[in-house]
Amino acid sequence: MSTIALHNLTKRFGTLTAVDDIDLEVSAGEVLCLLGPSGCGKTTTLRMVAGLETATAGDVVIGGERVNHLTAAQRNVAMAFQFYALYPSLTVADNLAYPLHAEPIAEAERDRRVAQVAEVLELTHVLRRLPGQLAEGEKQRVSVGRAIIRDPNCFLFDEPLSRLDVQLRETMRGQIKEVLSNLKKATVIVTHDQFEALTMADRIAVMRDGVIEQVASPHDIFAKPSNIFVASFIGTPQMNLIPATILEPTQGVSNFDIGSQHIAIALKHRLRPGDRITLGIRPRSFELVAQQGPETILADVDLIEPMGAETLFHLAMQDHELRVVVDRARRASVGERLAVRFRPEHTHIFDANQQLMQP
Amino acid sequence: MAWRKRREIGKAGWGWTGFAGIISFIYFFPVLWIILTAFKSNADVLSVPPKFLFTPTLENFVSVFRRSYIPGQAAVDTGFDLFFFNSIYIAGTSVALALVIGTLAAYGFSRYPLRGNDTYMFIILTTRMLPPIIVIIPIFLMFRLAGLSGTYTGIIALYTAFNLPFTIWMMKSFFDELAPDIEDAGRLDGSSERRVFFKICLPQVRAGLAATAVFGLILTWNEFLFALLLTGIDTRTIPVAMAQTIGGDIGVRWGLLAAIETLFLIPVIVVVFALQKHLLRGVTFGTIKR
């Protein structure tokens, strides 16, 4: 079975702990994205799976077998690198055929597989070229092709799309997803791009400072971020995070003091008056209403950014800024005062330890 | 070919092309002079003002290999065919050896740095800091004691040792420039460390190997001092033999000397032309920001 499991995996470089005691499982056919900002340890984790770094502590288990002692060559994993790492002195065809050298197969069979992979990835017309003569997108496809040409235990991708332009990235995202779904292997993709993660992954593991903050499906990670870091890292524009103090509830409706204003939201959470919490609301989860009420706050339009189908309003309250995305049909002018309603079903509450509170 | 040349001139402009031509001519003039002299008869060589138009003769080239040392006597072999062989054999072998050992060492220093790697690299460099003339007496004595004086083994070992620091430093900088990801990709594709080195790293530093080989060859090919002291009659190289040709009862035979020099030049030109594709890349490597 093609699976990956990491148990208490740790990597230290001198005094720096790059990866701190992480546990992770990827089942066969599953695509897991390691997502996080630069330097969070995601690439180091990937390299430990590949066998390019040795773990300081913990185990890497591939296909049910502990592989800590095996070299990269012995682990039979395929990896596509961020900078493609194509062999510059070999043609595209030879690059694709390279991983097959270890397998005892006939030349005809090797050529057949090269041709097959080249066709899937639309590389047939560049097979005789050297990597230096390829366009960025073609290089990327060669690196993917080199990974899928043999039958490895699992696939690893290190920032596979980061060097492509936006349009190409969209096409390749779909293409890679399609290729991977036919392969039924455990796959780990490292990325700092949340769109890549959200669109390609079956599950996402969000990392920060060597620690996995949350592992969940793309839907859950967006809808139920387990803490403030994940909440602010996923989703653009960023989630609004408003510090608030809980007030006495009135008729089952929670009241919050958010500095200059009070707001009432009908939440099912068990809230203790006096506690300090953080309200998290995505920019698309607000409602602009005509009339001011206890469920609304007032804010002035500070900046308007048209984003195409939608428009982003930066609203200024006395002590914070709110980012609100509205339909492009909704017009407003700078300085205008708007009433904004918090929708209870879309309002996240984070406790004083920055963790999500369950209703 | 012609259209291409014209286009390149067009790119640089006729002014610059002419200017570069004049500079090249000034630099090349001494070489041209030597080559012309090699084809002149003794009378033409010494004529004042110098002749540019003359009847060429191969007489000098013949006497490089066979001539009479005493006027009137029959011509005898000068041994220059052996000296040419010696020069080619000694320079070629020592540079090849230095490349093999030095490239492996450089790869080691680049990929598996030791504690104090820079210190080791510096120590290697220091062996080239002493002017050779300072160490010539101890080396001479060592060779005498070890029985290496006048042997191929001795002079090849010495030249290899001379070329090694340069080779290690050059090749290390080439290996340092390679992207380590490519080697990692090779490992993941199931390559042993040996295969990673031979199939992935080495092809990428071909330009470096070519440049290093040319520098090493020129250095070794021209070396005079150690060759003078440490080669015997059988292992003598051209620079030494050439110097020994200068003397004589009838003054310096410039035409003969020029003929030797012209022949001496041929292997250098052949090697440089054979490797010129790599050479430009090799000597400019690292100077262009990627």
Instruction: Write out pLDDT tens, residues A179-225.
Output: 888 888 999 999 998 988 998 899 999 999 999 999 999 999 999 99
Decide if B185 and A101 are in contact by the 8 Å CB cutoff: no
Cα torsion at A88, A93, A98, A101 (round to 10°)?
A: -150
Best to test chain B binding among A75, A76, A89 (most B CBs inside 10 Å): A89
CB atoms within 10 A of CB A130: 16
Decide if B181 and A99 are in contact by the 8 Å CB cutoff: no
Q: Output the CA–CA distances (angstroms, integers) from residue A149 to A46, A108, A156, A183, A246, in the order listed.
A: 20, 15, 14, 11, 58
B181 touches A at CB < 8 Å:
yes
Q: Which residue of B has its CA nearest to A97?
A: B189
Residues 6 or more apart from B257 whose CB is under 8 A from it? B242, B245, B246
Which residues in chain B are contacts of A77 at CB distance < 8 A?
A: 188
In chain B, positions 194-253, which contact chain A (CB-CB < 8 Å)?
195, 200, 203-204, 206
Mapped onto helix, strand or coil, the DSSP state of residue A249 is: strand
Which residues in chain A are contacts of B209 at CB distance < 8 A?
A: none
Q: Which pLDDT does position B290 carry in this prediction?
A: 42
Domain definitions of chain A by residue range:
4-233, 240-350
A86 touches B at CB < 8 Å:
yes
A225 touches B at CB < 8 Å:
no
Q: Output the CA–CA distances (angstroms, integers) from residue A306 to A262, A299, A303, A327, A330, in the order listed.
A: 30, 19, 10, 10, 11
Q: Output the CA–CA distances (angstroms, integers) from residue B105 to A114, B102, B170, B208, in the order listed.
A: 36, 5, 11, 15
- Helix then strand count (H, E) for chain A reads 9, 20
A70 touches B at CB < 8 Å:
no
B91-253+267-284 belongs to which CATH class? Answer: mainly alpha
Q: pLDDT of chain B along its 290 residues, tens only? A: 455 666 666 677 888 889 999 999 999 999 999 999 999 888 888 888 888 888 888 888 988 888 877 777 778 888 899 999 999 999 999 999 999 999 999 999 999 999 999 999 999 998 888 888 888 889 999 999 999 988 999 999 999 999 999 999 999 999 998 888 999 999 998 889 999 999 999 999 988 999 899 989 999 999 998 999 899 888 999 999 888 887 666 677 888 889 999 999 999 899 988 888 777 776 665 554 44
Chains A, B: CB contacts within 8 A come to: 63
Which residues in chain B are contacts of A51 at CB distance < 8 A?
A: 187-188
- The pair of three-digit structure tokens given for residue B22, joined into one six-digit string: 């004049």
B91 touches A at CB < 8 Å:
no
A105 touches B at CB < 8 Å:
no
Q: Which fold has domain A4-233?
A: Rossmann fold (3.40.50)
Best to test chain A binding among B184, B188, B193, B205 (most A CBs inside 10 Å): B188
Do A349 and A280 meet the contact criterion of CB atoms below 8 Å apart? yes
Instruction: State how far residue B267 is from chain A, nearest Cα, in angstroms.
Output: 29
Decide if A146 and B185 are in contact by the 8 Å CB cutoff: yes
Decide if B191 and A73 are in contact by the 8 Å CB cutoff: yes
In chain A, positions 139-168, which contact chain B (CB-CB < 8 Å)?
146
Decide if A87 and B182 are in contact by the 8 Å CB cutoff: yes
Q: Which residue of A has its CA nearest to B193?
A: A73
Q: What is the CATH number of domain A240-350?
A: 2.40.50.140
CB-CB: which of B188, B190, B204 is closest to A89? B204
Mapped onto helix, strand or coil, the DSSP state of residue A142 is: helix
Residues 6 or more apart from B222 whose CB is under 8 A from it? B239
Q: Which pLDDT does position B286 carry in this prediction?
A: 53
Q: Which pLDDT does position A90 carry in this prediction?
A: 92
Q: Which pLDDT does position A248 carry in this prediction?
A: 86
Q: Which pLDDT does position B248 carry in this prediction?
A: 62
Domain definitions of chain B by residue range:
91-253+267-284
CA-wise closest residue to B58 among B246, B239, B255? B255
Q: Which pLDDT does position B163 carry in this prediction?
A: 93
Which residues in chain A are contacts of B277 at CB distance < 8 A?
A: none
- pTM given for the model: 0.80
Placement of tokens 């050297």 in the chain: A130
Q: Tell me how far apart the alpha carbons of residues B61 and A197 are, in angstroms, rounded to a whole number.
A: 76
Decide if B184 and A81 are in contact by the 8 Å CB cutoff: yes
Decide if B191 and A101 are in contact by the 8 Å CB cutoff: yes
Q: pLDDT of chain A along its 359 residues, tens only? A: 789 999 999 999 999 999 999 999 999 999 999 999 998 999 999 999 999 999 999 999 999 999 999 999 899 899 999 889 999 989 999 999 999 987 888 889 999 999 999 998 889 999 999 999 999 889 989 998 998 898 888 999 998 888 888 888 888 888 888 888 888 899 999 999 898 899 889 999 999 999 999 999 999 999 999 999 999 999 989 999 999 999 888 887 888 888 878 888 888 888 888 889 999 999 999 988 888 888 888 899 999 999 999 999 999 987 788 999 999 888 888 999 999 988 888 899 999 899 998 87
B184 touches A at CB < 8 Å:
yes
Instruction: Write out pLDDT tens, residues B68-112.
Output: 777 777 788 888 999 999 999 999 999 999 999 999 999 999 999
Which residues in chain A are contacts of B189 at CB distance < 8 A?
A: 73, 78, 98-99, 101-102, 146
